[in-house]
Structures are given as C-alpha cells and as structure tokens.
Amino acid sequence: MSRFTAPIAEQIWDMKYRLKEADGTAIDRTVEDTWRRIARALAEVEAVPQVWEDRFYDALSDFKYLPAGRITAGAGTARSVTLFNCFVMGTIPDSMGGIFEMLKEAALTMQQGGGIGYDFSTIRPKGASVKGVAADASGPLSFMDVWDAMCRTIMSAGSRRGAMMATMRCDHPDVEDFIGAKADAARLRMFNLSVLVTDDFMEAVKADRSWDLVFDGTVYRTVQARDLWNRVMKATYDYAEPGVIFIDRINKANNLSYVETIAATNPCGEQPLPPYGACLLGSINMARLVSDPFEEAAALDVDALNELVATAVRMMDNVVDASRFPLEAQRQEAKAKRRIGLGVTGLADALLMLGLRYGSDEAARQTEDWLHAIARAAYLASVQLAKEKGAFPLFDADKYLASGTMQMMDEDVRDAIREHGIRNALLTSIAPTGTISLYAGNVSSGIEPVFAYAYTRKVLQKDGTRTEEEVVDYAVQMWREKFGDRELPEFFVNAQTLAPLEHVKMQAAAQKWVDSSISKTINCPEDISFEAFKSVYMEAYETGCKGCTTYRPNDVTGSVLSVSEEKKPEAPEVIATTEDAPQQPHGDVIYMSEPLDRPKALEGATYKLKWPDSEHAIYLTINDIIVGGHRRPFEVFINSKNMEHFAWTVALTRMISAVFRRGGDVSFVVEELKAVFDPRGGAWVNGKYIPSILAAIGGVIEQHMIAIGFLAGEGMGLKSDPQAQVVNLPGGRGKACPSCGQYDMRMVEGCMTCGSCGHSKCG
C-alpha cells in the first residue's frame, strides 16, 4: 500500500524529491527508499550510524518530520549541492571591486541551489560623489538590477530559479526609490524587497516627527517619518511589496547578539541571518500528532512531540556536518554557530482536529502552548547534544543567557544551558512549507490557515484526454472519512474568511517562542481601506512580531486563487471551475502528467535572425500542435552555421521544446529570454535596441506566439483565459504558474507559491 494519502502528494514526491538517474530512471523506488536515503546520509556522522539511521527513519516515516526540500532531494545523492536552503551573503563593500566580488559569490551560491539575502544599505546613494573618478554614484538600485539579471541566468539545483531578498534601512537616502521599485512590473522580478524598520523610526511615525536620511554620517535630506511610513504602506497596498522587517527587535532578541549584527534575511524572511549565515530548515507535522481527531478526547500527543523534536534536532545538527557549502565563509559561519530552524506545518489542521477556530483567542493560546513545548524540547535536546558532542564554538554562557530570547526561557532550561552549554545557537523558525505540505498529503502550510478545503486539478494525459483530480485539505479528508457527508462545523475557516487582525494574532502567538522568525502571509480583502491596512502593520509591531507581510489581491497582484464555491448543501467545499468562461486550451489545459507524444506531422514556421557582427544567421523553426481546436507552440529548432553557437543552440532547443511539451502557460519562456543581457553589449535591430542574441530569439518566439493567437500582443499575456470567481473576494483569476500552468498561484508565507505543483518564486 502506498504511504501517500493523495495523488498530488505522490506526484510532488516524484517531481521534486525522488532520486533518479540522469535519464529519469528511478533510484528511489518508493517513498520509503527516500526516507531511508535521508536517514542513512544524516546518520553517517554518528558514532553508531545504524542505531540513529533507524531512529531517523522512524521520524521521517508517515511524514511526521519533514526536512526542508533541499535535504529531502539532496541528502545521500552524492551530488554537489548544498542541503541548506538559503544564505545571507557577506556585507557589500562600497566599492566597485567589492560589489562585483559579492556578485560572484552570489552566483556561486545560487549555482548550488541556495537562495540569498543581501542588505544594500551599505552602498552609497545615487548622486553621491565617487572619489578619484570625478563621477557621481549610481546608487544601490542600479546594482540590484545587475544582481537581478545575474539571477535570471543561473538555474538553481533542483530546476528552480534562484530566489533573492533585498533589504534597505529606513534611513538610507535611496529608501524612497527602493520602496517604489516594484511599481515597475518588469524590474527586480527575482527579488523580494523588505525595508529594515527601526524602533526609533516607529516611534517617530507615531509621534509624527521628522526623520533624517543618512549615509556615512552625512544627512542627505529630512522627511516626515509618517510620510515615509505611508509611502511604504501604499507600495505594499498596491504591489504587495516591500515587506517590513522590525530589525531592532530582531537584533535585541537574537541569542547571538554578543557576536553578530543582523541586517538581512533569507528570501522568505523567516531566518534573519548575519553575513554568510545559512538557514537549515525542517518542520514537525502537527497534523500527524493529534489523537482522536474531531472527538471530545482530541489532543496532541505531547510525549510523541517531545521525542520527535529531539530526533529532528539531532538530524538537523548532523546536516551542518553532512552538507556541502558554496563558499568557505558559509561553512565556517555554520560550524561556528550551528544554528538550525525547526518549525511546524499542519498547525491549522491540528487546531481543526481539536475543534478550534483558527484566529480565535483559544486557537492563539493553544498555538503559543504548542510552540512553547517545541521550544523547550528543542533547547533541551540541544543541551543533551552539547553534553555528548560539545557546545557550539562561540558559546559564552553569561552572554548567551542574557540575550532577549533566553531571558524569557524556562528556568530549568536556562540552568541546563548554564551547566552543560548548548549545541545549537538558535533552534526554531517557521519556514514556508508549501511544497512539503503537499508532499505530506496537503496538510495546512506552516502556521497558515487552511487555504482551500478542496479544489479540482485538471491533468492532461498523453493520449490527449483530460482527467480531474480533487485535491482535499488533510483535515477535511479526515472529517470525510469519519463523518461522511456531514456538514463541516463553523470552526472550519479559510484564509479568505479570516479578518487580517486574526492572522496577526496567530503570528504574534507563535513568535513568542520562535527564536528566529516566521514566514507568514496576512491575507487582506481587496476592499480593505488604506487606514485599516496600515493598522495591520502597526498591530504586528505592537504585538511583538519581527516582520509583516500582507497580500491584497488587486489588478496588479492578481487574485489569490481562482476557485469558486460549489453549491453543495452537505459541505462548503472550494472547487476550481472554468464554467461560463472561454474554453481556450492554454487556459483549460493546465498541467501534464507527462510530455505529449510528438505527432508525425506538425505545422510551423521558420524564421531567419541576422545578428549584427555575426557572420552567419540563426534560423528558428517553431512547430505547433492543435489541442482542442486551438494552436499552441510545441517545439523549437535553433540552427546556425557558426560553430561557436552550436552548444548553446542545441541546449536551448532541447530546453524550450521540453517546456513547450509540458503545456500550460509557457509565455514565461519569452519573458525570460527577452530579459537576458549580454555584458559585452547588445545591438540595434530594426530600430530597436536588443540586449542580447538570446533576447532576440525570445522576440522571434514571441512574434510567432502572437501570430498563432497564443499571446495577445507584444509584452502581453495569453490571448484569452478562463475567468473564475474567488471565494469571498471579488475579482477574477490569479496568474498562471510558470511551472505547471495552473491558475493556482497564491501568496503563502511571504512567497508566491503554486498549490498544484509546489512551484515557488522563493525556491
């Protein structure tokens, strides 16, 4: 019998985590093989590997403990990839040579599959003088554009694009440009942006005082703090960015405040890290630990929780020794502090099983109690590891116990740390778990509420037929198995029915016992007033959160999820629909379980591309397939007599054709190619500047897509797509997933994530 409780869970495992040969032949025959591979790899550093291998396997079995995706996909594979999810890179020097040295380090890190965070506050503002060259500085945003272009060209391990976070202090002279950067939809697409907000600034906002914008001791200009705050709020109200990071609170609470200063986070914000810091993530699946769900005796098994946490901490500590690192500085930083980020997923499902409404005072209290129990168990497990293997090298008992987080820790835990030390400097974090939650049977993600109770997912088979799969929330599925068609109780709520301040309440309750931070999205209705929207951020600040990320669907951001409520008296399910919508194949066909077989004959067109200063032209042949009476691109052939072009034209031919044959919205191929720039310079073609020959190829493909009616026009999206209602929100569909094409992109834990295939902008 399969351990998977839903078809989508097995598909996620097969696509994302199953170990395969280069030709696609499976090495992991079952998910049990995957668990055994991970357990064996992480037990190799133990004195008695076999004993710990079995214990690690038991923790992984039935999806009780979920290591982060990079561990699940990479452990035990002998591949040259990092098992760490994300990094904050070194401090950027305010010099041209230093800046481009940091760019190189970023490229090397993303090449191994790590997302990165940077603080760009260290670069002098636009217009500042540059000594020795009689020139003015171009400012940090111009260099962020360079990082953005670099990120587009590097494919992270696991076939995911690199993700980046950029931060800037609220007193940097260019902070206003930073705040408004995402108003240009084509700019900085590979970045998440967050403003580093200080306590002094928040007090100035509340008192309506002036605020100096300063760099290197020089005041460039003075603004009203409240005006600047409103500018941040308006940008995130309109564009969902930038986020807000309460940086002083982070540094005051940091267990390691005596040896490090934090100025940046990883791409999703749950791990504030020092220069070259790395985040190592994993989650306890709370939904698997509830006994007697939906009954009077329903309870979370605290003994099982404590045992599972202790095993998970040991596994994660071993990853520090088992992982490769892109840079030596990252390895040294990880070894010196051994910080880990153990979090939770399935929390909302676990609350439902206890009959608690997410966002209620009772649910907040229960969440705080559970996170307290996890923190206690994690810290005590790390003390035991310190007794066995030694404390982290930079441990100083007096300074460590004087930190903000440790002052509130239980006295027996403090006494144990004082006596024996602790193995890991920080232990808890709540990370984005969108993909691993699907893999675990579609449990609720992280500490987020249930997003949708159920939705349908269309799958195109190789023979051209379509099947539909229902994707059901884990707790809802358990309710059905117990009670059949009985109506769901009132305490079943979803992300859209909750008031924004109820989201904040849950985040604040969890944050009290999380020593790093939390990746959480506060969903706001489209019609929320600007003043009410601002109050969400102020409430997050006043209740002890370390940051705040909101999502308000609108014409710019798209809707949250294209679903509509199917009228069933027995249960209020959320079902995706394309009824009353144009039935275009590029909208209805949203995911393919396998690439379509190539027909014997295809219609197409061949284009000649002459690039200036190149002796030979490039010829592009684009063939199309007819699906549902409509034409869509199916394959590309790129040829040139120039042998210098041979390798990359073959690679591009194969990659683009593979993408086209998967179906869905493949317009992103055009966007990615057109965004590539050649550092040697582009060329003027037909009166228009083209940044590279790859961008020119993207332009040819775009014109072909327009000619066959697949795209609406240059720089535009699909010609016509299904429109659908959004539950409890006005408006139409969201954006299509660039990986599978399904209209199931949602803001989850601070990152646009596909609920169908797990694709995440943040890697």
* pLDDT of amino acid 732: 39
* pLDDT of amino acid 592: 43
* pLDDT of amino acid 236: 95
Nearest CA-CA partner of 141 in 107, 105, 182 = 182
Residue 595, preceding peptide bond in cis (omega within 30° of 0): no
Each residue's pLDDT tens digit, 255-271: 999 999 999 999 999 99
Contact predicate 50/43, CB 8 Å: yes
* pLDDT of amino acid 462: 57
Dihedral sign from CA coordinates of 183, 188, 189, 190? negative
E runs forming strands in 663-707: 683-685, 688-690
* pLDDT of amino acid 3: 87
At residue 723, the 3 state secondary structure works out as coil
Label the pairing between strands 751-754 and 745-748. Answer: antiparallel
* pLDDT of amino acid 746: 72
Q: Which distant-in-sequence residues (6+ apart) come within 8 Å of 716 by Cβ?
A: none
Q: CB 458: neighbour CB atoms within 10 A?
A: 18
Q: What is the DSSP annotation of 249-302?
A: HHHHH-TTTTT----EE-TTSS-EE-TT-EE-EEEEEGGGGEESTTSTT-EE-H
Query: With pLDDT > 90 as the criterion, what percentage of the chain qualifies?
Result: 61
Find the catalytic residue in 266, 285, 424, 442: 266
* pLDDT of amino acid 762: 61
How many residues in the chain? 763
- Report the distance separating Cα 210 and Cα 203, nearest Å: 11
- Report the distance separating Cα 158 and Cα 33, nearest Å: 19
* pLDDT of amino acid 37: 97
Nearest CA-CA partner of 179 in 166, 189, 163, 190 = 166
Query: Which residue's entry shows tokens 């108003």?
Result: 183
- Report the distance separating Cα 508 and Cα 34, nearest Å: 36
Q: Which two tokens stand for residue 139?
A: 């400012």
Check if 545 is active-site.
no
* pLDDT of amino acid 629: 64
Find the catalytic residue in 151, 268, 548, 762: 268
Which run of H or of E encompasses 389?
helix 361-389
Q: What is the DSSP annotation of 287-340?
A: GGGEESTTSTT-EE-HHHHHHHHHHHHHHHHHHHHH-B-SSHHHHHHHHHH---
At residue 93, the 3 state secondary structure works out as coil
Q: Which amino acid is at 149?
A: A
* pLDDT of amino acid 451: 86
**Vertex 674: Cα angle to 673 and 678 (nearest 5):** 85
660 φ, ψ (degrees, to nearest 5): -60, -40
- Report the distance separating Cα 479 and Cα 454, nearest Å: 13
Q: Which distant-in-sequence residues (6+ apart) come within 8 Å of 513 by Cβ?
A: 368, 371, 372, 374, 375, 428
Three-state SS annotation for 137-184 = CCCHHHHHHHHHHHHHHCEECCCEECCEEEEEECCCCCHHHHHCHHHC
- Report the distance separating Cα 58 and Cα 35, nearest Å: 9
* pLDDT of amino acid 465: 63
Q: Give CA separation, 298 vs 237, 351, 353, 354, in Å.
A: 40, 10, 7, 5
Q: Which residue ranges of the chain lie beneath pLDDT 70?
A: 1-2, 132-134, 155-162, 459-466, 555-597, 628-629, 679, 717-744, 749-750, 755-758, 761-763
At residue 214, the 3 state secondary structure works out as strand
Q: Which two tokens stand for residue 309?
A: 């946490």
Query: With pLDDT > 70 as the criterion, what percentage of the chain qualifies?
Result: 85
- Report the distance separating Cα 63 and Cα 439, nearest Å: 8
Contact predicate 215/137, CB 8 Å: no
Check if 268 is active-site.
yes
E runs forming strands in 62-145: 65-67, 86-88, 115-119, 129-130, 135-136
Find the catalytic residue in 270, 539, 702, 749: 270
Check if 368 is active-site.
no
Q: Which distant-in-sequence residues (6+ apart) come within 8 Å of 493 by Cβ?
A: 357, 358, 359, 449, 450
* pLDDT of amino acid 470: 85
Each residue's pLDDT tens digit, 497-552: 899 999 999 999 999 999 999 999 999 999 999 999 999 999 999 999 999 999 99
* pLDDT of amino acid 741: 58
At residue 457, the 3 state secondary structure works out as strand
Which run of H or of E encompasses 342?
strand 341-345
Half-sphere exposure (CA, 13 Å, Cβ side) for 195?
31
* pLDDT of amino acid 504: 97
Contact predicate 500/536, CB 8 Å: yes
At residue 135, the 3 state secondary structure works out as strand
